[in-house]
Structure 1
Amino acid sequence: MNKHFKIYGILLVVVVVILILLELGKSGATDFRKNFDLKEKTAFGLYVFSGEANSLFKNKLSKTEVSPYAYFSGKTFKPQNILVIAKEIDQESAKKILEQVEQGADFMLISENFPSVISEEFGIADDRFNFDPRQILYLENENFASDSLLLDKLPGGIGFYDVNEDFEILGSTYDRQDEENYNFVKINYGKGHIYLHSEPLFLTNYYLLRKGSEKYLQDVFSYLPDRETVWFVSNSEISSSSPLRFILSNPALRYAWWLFLGGLLLFVIFNVKRKQRIVPIIEPLRNKSVEFVRSIGNLYLQEGDFHDMMSKKAQYFLNKVRMDLLIDTTALDENFAQKLHLKTGKPIEKIKEAIELMERAQNPYSSVMKEDLIRMNRLLDEII
């Protein structure tokens, strides 16, 4: 027994020494986690913006930690601006906000992710379009042409994959190849307007503390009317309900806690190894259907035969139309398009575009690209 205790003691000393060396060797590295917290002074917190926001909105800004659903329920409508920054919005709250906009409110959402209610309502497809580590934010208004902002640290690269004709493009981003991608749009909705910006980094401490960077921020918010603005913020003080939140928030206590768990784990491992019989592992029968499909997909992807992939996707779609919708697919003409439009309720423009891509897929002499395959696959999935 004494021999085992010596082993435990040696392991414990080794772990303690390693932790001490790691602590002594820590360099005061900047925290670049995207927390977008109003009280955080880290690089990507909103501490600076939160302190200056009231003057930016001419002392007409109010912050609230309740949900939009609870805030607007039971209240009579009054024209105002609604602001949400990098915060998750539940479906019911998003619907409440849209109701306010429809009556005349203006809603600005600055986030890398948009609620499905808004995405589906306006046909927005947001995706990462740019992986360049240096991007420049521009506004389309000529008056703001000189107020661009360089993002040289972890830009999100999120933008709008499809832009509806009813959208007004307000801002874009450029990379080092001068490729333009939209990231700030305006949507007319009822009597009000919706402003969507997909790059919240321009509000963070890291960029606002740069000289001249505040001009871009001021330009973005200048689109909102000069009136009362309500900002829905998250309650960071109650964000964690864990009983260990005090221990985990203190570095010294956190290291002690992990050391305790590590020692406990070593103790359990050594004791189980001595007392527990080896239990044979009987693996269940594996369903290799998914592996087969994945292997076939990888094979097509490696070969780069986008034409064949488009052809097979078109055949599968037309077979589904024949079996599920009972529509004759012999001729992909105007009559076919109208029938498919009536039975699916999808826009006739998307159906005609899908028919054009399917005809190219079935023509062995046509030239197709990867983008055509992606576009056709997206259209066919939307139709059925």
Structure 2
Amino acid sequence: MNIASNIQKLWVFLMLCSVFSCDRTDWNENFKESSKSPFGTYIVYEEAEALFDSEVLSLDQNIYDYLFEEMHEDHFGNYICIKSDAEKLNTDGINYLLTYIERGNHALLSLNNFPPHLKDTLGITTTNLDFYEYTPVALKALDGRLQLKDEAFNTQTYTYDRNIRRHYFETYNSNTSVVLGTVEVDGEQKPNFLKIYYGEGTILLHATPIVFTNFNLLNGREAYAAHVLSYLPDNPIVWDPQIKSSQYSETPEKPQDSMFVFFLKHPSLTWFLMVSLFGLLLFMLFNARRKQRAIPIIKPLENSTVAFAQTISNLYLKEADHKNLVDKKITYFLEKVREQYLINTSNLNREFIETLALKSNNDFTSTKYLINTIIALNKKTECTDVELLVLNNMIDKFFKT
């Protein structure tokens, strides 16, 4: 994949922009696809379609939501994420993405910091000796030399004069991983570019995303970035700009400390907690003597089931609160699924639909339509009586199969 001619055109364009611009140059690493600043990724994103001779889809939603809603049967092609951190790629998103890679898709993740769940799943560990360097002045002093292992590239050394962190892979599974490139750290070559075989697909992990930014592509170093991208096949591209969190995933992005842990972090609150517990124990100790209580007169219970049911039905009929009844029907359905089929209903994804259809002896299409209807009605603030009736009939038909 040769990008030299297109890079030269963009070079002239950006030079003209810089001449007529009155703003100071922004040397912060933003990795934004729309940014023409030195450390944006405008050029590589604009050239992706020409590089792979395929369509490039820029996600306007979380990758988990995209895969969940589209319900792809086989392939989406190549997934590319070039960022400092993949904060929006949480545990559920990683698991879902790996499922599609296992079916024969491919992914390139070039990050300064890889998600812990991804590293645990793939069996890798990383070391970033410059993790705490983040200001433009401190990063400017970080020069480095990169190499690619493939003989086709003649083991050429690519020299960079700024923002090259000493970030590399410390351990990896040699049975499923191949080292494609290295970074020089204190005179030694450390792996910073891995190819990991995962099922029928592959995952490319690259630890130096700065090489894909505008600054390095406009200073005669575009060959290295092109060589790295050449390891992906010429398939359609799903480009992840990391702009949205998932609206379906229930995995928290950052775990919260409990209130008890918060109390223990502060000495004054810890003493307050201890004194309160001691006072409670004293209260229970001095009030533990047996007291005689009056024996209440217990009247026999009246059978008011029918009257209660009529009262409730009249109340809902008068209020026309169809949304409330829809929510109760959905709760009843999910509870019965948990009890009858022993299925976890926390994630109503494709795996859940397939399992439910199999265990309930329903066909996949009708089960998928029922679950999608439940998801759609859950999002609504109001429902009509027709929607309530349709949902009720679908649930009754599901359990009668």
TM-score, structure 1 length as denominator?
A: 0.51
Q: How many residue pairs are counted as aligned between the two chains? A: 213
Q: CA deviation at 1:234?
A: 3.1
Change (3 A) 1:51 1:79: closer
* Cα distance in 2 between the residues matched to 1:217 and 1:145: 15
CA deviation string 1:48-102 (max 9, x = no partner): 2222222112133222121111111122222511111113212111111100011
* Cα distance in 1 between the residues matched to 2:93 and 2:170: 25
* Cα distance in 2 between the residues matched to 1:65 and 1:234: 9
* Cα distance in 1 between the residues matched to 2:217 and 2:31: 13
* Cα distance in 1 between the residues matched to 2:90 and 2:49: 26
Which amino acid in the other structure matches residue 240 of structure 2? F
2:237 corresponds to 1:229: yes
2:105 corresponds to 1:76: no
Matches within 5 A, 1:111-150: 111-129=111-129, 133-145=142-154, 147-150=156-159
Q: CA deviation at 1:285?
A: 5.8
Are 1:187 and 1:195, in contact at CA under 8 Å, matched by a contact in 2?
yes
* Cα distance in 1 between the residues matched to 2:62 and 2:268: 47
Which amino acid in the other structure matches residue 139 of structure 1? L
Are 1:110 and 1:196, in contact at CA under 8 Å, matched by a contact in 2?
yes
* Cα distance in 1 between the residues matched to 2:236 and 2:36: 27
CA deviation string 1:230-273 (max 9, x = no partner): 1112349xxxxxxxxxxxxxxxxxxxxxxxxxxxxxxxxxxxxx
* Cα distance in 1 between the residues matched to 2:43 and 2:203: 25
Q: CA deviation at 1:286?
A: 10
2:214 corresponds to 1:219: no
* Cα distance in 1 between the residues matched to 2:157 and 2:102: 32
Matches within 5 A, 1:127-206: 127-129=127-129, 133-145=142-154, 147-166=156-175, 167-175=177-185, 177-206=186-215
Are 2:62 and 2:243, in contact at CA under 8 Å, matched by a contact in 1?
no
Q: Which of these residues, 34, 45, 49, is aligned with residue 39 of structure 1?
A: 34
* Cα distance in 1 between the residues matched to 2:267 and 2:208: 46
TM-score, structure 2 length as denominator?
A: 0.49
Q: Name the SS for the 2:92 alignment partner.
A: helix
Q: CA deviation at 1:186?
A: 0.8
Gaps of 5+ in 1: 1-26, 237-282, 288-384
Q: CA deviation at 1:39?
A: 1.4
Q: CA deviation at 1:45?
A: 0.8
Q: Give the superposed CA RMSD.
A: 2.5
Q: Name the SS for the 1:76 alignment partner.
A: coil
* Cα distance in 1 between the residues matched to 2:190 and 2:149: 12
Q: Which of these residues, 85, 88, 100, is aligned with residue 82 of structure 2?
A: 85
Q: Name the SS for the 1:52 alignment partner.
A: helix
* Cα distance in 1 between the residues matched to 2:269 and 2:59: 52
* Cα distance in 1 between the residues matched to 2:204 and 2:218: 25
Q: CA deviation at 1:146?
A: 5.7
Are 1:63 and 1:231, in contact at CA under 8 Å, matched by a contact in 2?
yes
CA deviation string 1:157-195 (max 9, x = no partner): 2111112222100000125x5321110001111111111
Could you tell me which residue of structure 2 aligns to residue 323 of structure 1? none
* Cα distance in 2 between the residues matched to 1:65 and 1:149: 34
Matches within 5 A, 1:100-119: 100-119=100-119
Q: Name the SS for the 2:109 alignment partner.
A: strand
Matches within 5 A, 1:317-328: none
* Cα distance in 1 between the residues matched to 2:234 and 2:115: 26
* Cα distance in 2 between the residues matched to 1:182 and 1:108: 16
Could you tell me which residue of structure 1 aligns to residue 280 of structure 2? none
* Cα distance in 1 between the residues matched to 2:164 and 2:98: 29
Gaps of 5+ in 2: 1-21, 134-140, 245-265, 271-401
CA deviation string 1:106-164 (max 9, x = no partner): 11111112122211112211121469822111110011136543221121221111122
* Cα distance in 1 between the residues matched to 2:122 and 2:34: 33
Higher RCO (C-alpha under 8 Å, 6+ residues apart): 2
Q: Name the SS for the 1:41 alignment partner.
A: coil
Which amino acid in the other structure matches residue 142 of structure 1? E
Could you tell me which residue of structure 2 aligns to residue 53 of structure 1? 48
Could you tell me which residue of structure 2 aligns to residue 95 of structure 1? 95
Which amino acid in the other structure matches residue 46 of structure 1? T
CA deviation string 1:205-252 (max 9, x = no partner): 1101112x111111111111122221112349xxxxxxxxxxxxxxxx
* Cα distance in 1 between the residues matched to 2:109 and 2:62: 15
Are 1:37 and 1:46, in contact at CA under 8 Å, matched by a contact in 2?
yes
Q: CA deviation at 1:29?
A: 5.4
Q: Name the SS for the 2:43 alignment partner.
A: helix
Which amino acid in the other structure matches residue 76 of structure 1? E
Q: Name the SS for the 1:159 alignment partner.
A: strand
